[in-house]
Amino acid sequence: MHTSLTWQKSTFSQESGECVELTAAGGAVLLRESEEPGVVLTTTRGELARFLHSLKTAPAIAPATPRA
C-alpha cells in the first residue's frame, strides 16, 4: 500500500469523507477514492491533463429518463 505518501484531497470534497485524493511519486500521478485507499489508479501528468480537459470541454449529456 502507498502509506508513506502525502495524499491531497480534492477541493470539491465533502466533509463526509467521500473524496478523491492524489499524490505524485516517481513521475507518476496516483489517484484513489478515500473510502477505498488500497485501490490506486496510476497515470501520468499528461494523461491526467488530457482526461480533465476532455471532461471540461465535452458536451453535457442529458440524464437518462426512467421508463414507465
Q: How confident is the prediction for the chain on average, in pLDDT?
A: 86
Residue, of 68 and 54, whose pLDDT is higher: 54
- State the pLDDT confidence band at 3, using cuts at 50, 70 and 90: low
Domain hosting 23: range is: 19-57
Cα gap 2→34, rounded to integer Å? 13
Instruction: Give the pTM.
Output: 0.70
Query: For the chain, what is the domain count?
Result: 1
Q: Which helix (H) or strand (E) holds 43?
A: strand 36-43
For 26-39, the pLDDT digits (tens) are 999 999 988 888 99
Q: Is residue 68 part of a domain?
A: no
Residue 39, in any domain of the structure: yes
Cell of 52: 480533465
